[in-house]
Amino acid sequence: MNWNAIKAIYRFEMSRTFRTLAQSVVSPVLSTSLYFVVFGAAIGSRIDQVEGVSYGAFIVPGLIMLTVLTQATSNASFGIYFPKFIGTVYELLSAPVSFVEIVIGYVGAAATKALMIGLIILATAHFFVDLNIAHPIWMLTFLVMTCLSFALLGFIIGIWAGSFEQLQLVPLLVITPLVFLGGSFYSISMLPPIWQTVTLFNPVVYLISGFRWAFFDVADVSLFWSVAAIIGFMTACLLAIGWIFRTGWRLRS
């Protein structure tokens, strides 16, 4: 394992975050604070509790997931797309660096950024609601696994994208709607039976449900299926990335 190569890629990607601190960190935190004001204050004043949890606290896991999923995907996709765009990806592919080391460097940096933002939002939430975490180890586990799995997805999107417009297509038109429809601001038990069944086909439901269970000991689906869903998703992304580097799809063309 070439740790120097991994360290170089990782440090380069992280330095970009600190060069654009307002865009990378401050903007997502401010946006999430607005969600707390709108949903927590306006809607929360009309909804007392959901599953025995105050509405303001109930939406915290969903808000963290909304930001973490989009940030992990966007950071990883831009990280690998930009070298493709300017042509430096060929230098990277011709260097004595394996695809595993490339993936660890880029995905690790994107996951770190998303994790950092998620923890900052969690700290910010304490200014708006009283929040106690029932299972802190599980909470961190779900958060880290989510950051890694969606950073892997973002890496795939960055390789697939042929333009900056395509780069934003999946996060805006796929991931964000799935999070909103995945129980981030409500419990799926509040839906009519037919829509509960339809919602279970949304993979984000399992992530949010497991993450919310770590906070409040309540969940829409069992912990087993939440863990199985995120492990299965991560495995599928790893297999896809392995195939991409074996075939050179969208990398050597």
Domain extent listing, the chain = 3-247
Q: What is the radius of gyration, based on Cα positions, of the chain?
A: 19
Q: Decide which of 36 and 140 is more confident.
A: 140
Instruction: State how far Cα 191 lies from the chain centre.
Output: 25
Instruction: State how far Cα 244 lies from the chain centre.
Output: 22
pLDDT of residue 251: 82
pLDDT band at 45; cut points 50, 70, 90: low
Tens digit of pLDDT for each residue in 188-243?
Answer: 988 899 999 999 999 999 999 999 999 999 999 999 999 999 999 999 999 999 99
Task: List phi, psi (to 5°) of 134.
Answer: -70, -40
Stretch among 27-31, 147-151, 183-187 having the lowest mean pLDDT:
27-31
Q: Is the pLDDT of residue 41 over 70?
A: no
Mean pLDDT of the chain: 89
User: What are 63's two structure tokens?
Assistant: 């808000």
Q: What DSSP state is assigned to residue 13?
A: H
What angle, 0 to 180 degrees and rounded to 10, lies between the N-to-C axes of helices 99-125 and 223-247?
140
The beta strand positions in 28-147, using DSSP E, are 49-50, 53-54
Tens digit of pLDDT for each residue in 115-166?
Answer: 999 998 898 888 888 888 999 999 999 999 999 999 999 999 999 998 888 8
User: pTM of the prediction?
Assistant: 0.92
pLDDT band at 40; cut points 50, 70, 90: low
pLDDT band at 49; cut points 50, 70, 90: confident
pLDDT of residue 37: 75
Q: Is the pLDDT of residue 108 over 70?
A: yes
What element of type H or E holds 144? Answer: helix 136-160
